Amino acid sequence: MNAHDWHTHTPDELETTLQSNLDRGLAEREVQQRLAEHGPNELPETPPVSALTLLLGQFTSVIIWVLIGAAIISGLLQEWVDAAAILAIVLLNALLGFVQEYRAEQSIAALKKLSITMARVIREGVIRSIPARELVPGDLIQIEAGDRVPADSRVIYATGLQTQEASLTGESTPVAKSAKPILQTEVPLGDRHNMLFMGTIVVSGKGRALVTATGAQTELGKIAALIHRETQAEQEETPLQRRLEHLGHTLLWLSLGIVVVVFLLGALRGIPLVTMFLTAVSLAVAAIPEGLPAVVTITLALGVTRMVKRHALIRRLPAVETLGSTTVICSDKTGTLTKNEMTVTTLYQGGDVFTVTGEGYAPVGEIRSDSEPTAPALKPGLMTLLRASVLCNGADLRLEAFLWHIVGDPTEGALLVAAAKAGLTKHHLEQENLWLGEVPFDSERKKMTVVRRTPSGPVAFIKGAPDVLLRDCQAWLTRGGAIQPLTDVIRQEITATNQRLASHALRVLGVALRPLDRIPDVYDAKSLEHDLVFLGLVGMKDPIRPEAKAAVEACRAAGIRTVMITGDHKDTAVAIAKELGLMESGAQAISGSELNQMSDEELRDRVKAVAVYARVTAEHKLRVVHAWKQQGAVVAMTGDGVNDAPALKAADIGVAMGMSGTDVTKEASDMVVMDDNFASIAAAVEEGRAIYDNIRKSVYYLLSCNIGEILLMLLATLFGLPLPLLPVQILWINLVTDGLPALALAVDPADEGLMRRPPRPPQEPFLTRARLLRLFVQGTFLAVITLLAFVYCLYGMDLNLERARTLTFTVMVLAQLFHALNNRSEDRSIFALGLWTNKPLLATVALSALLQAGIVFWAPVQGIFKVVPFDPEHWILAFGIGILPLIAMEIWKAARKKGDV
């Protein structure tokens, strides 16, 4: 039998196929044979990623190997200070990355932990409790409220049985279960009402079921296999990693090219080969921004700290920037776009429609009629409706630690909250109306009945699906509390109201009662659920988060598409999507069953037109993510359930919900949203964009400075001048006096129009042609003014080489420090930005200048850096030349702004 067909067969057919017994279960001998055949009922464990593997993974970048090569060459030349400094930077970068990613591959272990439970099984007619791992297909299990379902099973008996399957299917409300076969073969997972699934929770009722699948063959096991497949697949680089890798290759070839060209030019001029080799190495050192990996890593780490304040916890450093590149957010509905708190919004009673204000489980709000507050106590019919909804109710509303929450079915809880807003509490009503018996809800009757001893005698209170309930009603309650015969006109009005409320994505319940002549001898539907008095309708919904709509609009303004993917029904999903503004002109909604009919190619071609996916499984979500990625999108996928984990793994950025998310989902994610709020995702995208902008500022600053150093050394070599800077001095500039301001640029305030810009193309390099040209212009300016300073000191001031080199060294440091102020913006003046809006930058510029003065004047380090002190007038000269880049850029920005005007 196909595993997808268990739901189509009767219990007797299952008994034959599984070779079990519906009364006595399996024999012990048969259990042992099946255990040997199928293995234990547990998920296969993926070998954990070793710490060594994670550590070695930090050394895969080209730029890291370029730095290691530079350290080796420095060591061969016995430049031990240079070699040690470069290696320290490499190891620091690796350590930071390793710490962040240490727990990134724990998804299967968490999934296995989720599946560990105990089970009550009937074997040879005896009920016993055993570890769930010992279950086999064909076992007869018994379940009740509070149990975790131990294996995939087919229900053979149920009374009031409901399970919470949100973590597996995305269904936001409990699912009623029955033993009745489902005739259709292809039925979505969430609609298989006679099946129980491993890892889900029984919220009410009890039942018996035959185990149909264990371990890896369960639906949970299939998800584990998907996670394993996505984990084993080659991990794609993030946009930032791709850009840095491209930059690393560029720097590698640039370094090699400089070394070869300069070496050959010097050799042709007859300069000794050893001298030319040292010169070429100096140029190579100048070409490599040694501080870049550390600057990028620390910038990302600082971004992680800032994101925590905006309720986003980053688990992998590169994910910070990936958020800024996001073009599509595939978002779950329940709990992310909505509050995941069923709330009564509308009441219909006696021909009147009432609006209920307030959201969530806190009993704060009021009941309004025609937009005006109404006094429920003055509405006898309304009060009877609310009392009945409380007395026919199995949930409880509790206040614990100043927080209201529901124990039991969220739908029933919403009824308690609505009644509490009218001053009715379950505790007091139950004291006045004692419980006598009940007929639990089941999916065939679609009703629930509770019989209570009221002051006026025994009364049966009933709630259920309005269309079904209405068929059993012969009378109705007027607004004044009078009972009158239910005419066809009133019946049609009630039906039309029910349809109107349902069309607004409300879940509608009907409420009725039946006064009884005496206390029943038997509590069953046949004797109680007829000749009812219809009391009214209750409309409720899971309200959207008030900030979610604004966040969706902010994402749209930023060029980011938001797509809803949910396990809920299509009509509900579409109504919520319209309220959020997701269903733009031409937008489509498709269900999981429709997805099953589409090939991957058809989905890829259609994916841009679909705004809502409803009634979907884990495989469906995975296909949607892959389809978007095939269209070149950078995809962020949100989720909280086990069924979301594979898609989170496959997405460019997996976003788990911190409050409602399972451990599996969190371990599969790159980011955890701690308040389960879509607005926090949008805030994280904004933060990611700001971080990328700041990384780019840092990279441009470092590269423009390095170009200046390269051209300075190259021009001096071409003109036959002595080396203006020594390798150890270049290394000092790159690691310290460049590195500190580069880090300060990482905390520059975000641009005001950040979320009004379209996403960056994923393949866009750091160095576009326009920016590359700007880098060379700025670098050339730095090189020329420093070279002129060197020539003037050497020949105009007649200083010796060591003193001239020290002064040139200081000029280059000061020029680059002032140039750091230019890099805060490409077109806005430093004074327009506000000189004090980035105080860390001003502090690091001052600190770097003091450090430079320190190595010039402090005797113990003068020998290391090969510098000598010079006179105050030389400092004035160095400052006057060093400030020229800032003056030049301010003039250029002003001219550009005037030209735009």
Q: Are 155 and 14 in contact (CB under 8 A)?
A: no
3-state class of 341 per DSSP?
coil
As a whole number of angstroms, the distance between CA 4 and CA 617 comes to 14
Is the separation of the CB atoms in 533 and 514 below 8 Å? yes
Return the structure tokens found at 21.
């017994």
Determine the Cα–Cα distance for residues 64 and 71; give it in Å rounded to an integer.
11
CA distance 669 to 28: 42
Phi, psi dihedral angles at 106 (to 5 degrees) = -110, 15
Is 332 marked active-site?
A: yes
Distance CA 376, CA 390 (A): 15
Read off the tokens for 438: 């009940």
Under 8 Å between Cβ of 152 and 161: no
Q: Are 804 and 793 in contact (CB under 8 A)?
A: yes
Phi, psi (rounded to 5 degrees) for 79:
-90, 75
Instruction: Report the run of H or E that residue 118 belongs to, with start and end.
Output: strand 118-123
Active-site residue identified among 139, 332, 442, 644:
332
Q: 3-class DSSP state for residue 785?
A: helix
Here the contacts of 835-838 (C-beta below 8 Å, separation 24 or greater) are 837/749, 838/744, 838/745, 838/747, 838/748, 838/749
Residue 376, exposed/middle/buried by CB under 10 A (0-12, 13-18, 19+)? Answer: buried
Which helix (H) or strand (E) covers residue 673, if one does? strand 671-673
Residue type at 160?
A: G
And the tokens for 536? 């009214």
Amino acid identity for residue 725 in this structure? L
Which residues make beta-bridge pairs with 404? 399
Residue 861 corresponds to which tokens in the numbers above? 């380090």
Distance of alpha carbon 818 from alpha carbon 833, whole angstroms? 15
118, 122, 135, 214, 794 from 42: Cα distances, Å? 12, 20, 9, 7, 79
742/291 Cα distance (integer angstroms): 9
Sign of CA dihedral 555, 307, 634, 766: positive
3-state secondary structure 196-255: ECCCCEEEEEEEEEEEEECHHHCHHHHHHHHHHHHHHCCCCCCHHHHHHHHHHHHHHHHH
Which residue, among 325, 329, 330, has the nearest Cα to 762 in the 3D structure?
325
- Helix extents (H) in 511-670: 525-528, 546-557, 570-580, 592-596, 600-606, 618-630, 645-650, 663-668
Tally of CB atoms within 10 A around 273: 10
Check: CB of residue 542 under 8 Å from CB of residue 342. yes
Output the DSSP codes for 263-317: HHHHHHTT--HHHHHHHHHHHHHHHS-TTHHHHHHHHHHHHHHHHHHTTEEESST
CA distance 11 to 459: 36
Q: Which amino acid is at 515?
A: P
Other CB atoms closer than 10 Å to residue 79's CB: what's the count?
21
The C-alpha atoms of residue 413 and residue 339 are separated, in whole angstroms, by 14
What are the tokens at 115? 């599946």
Active site residues per annotation: 332
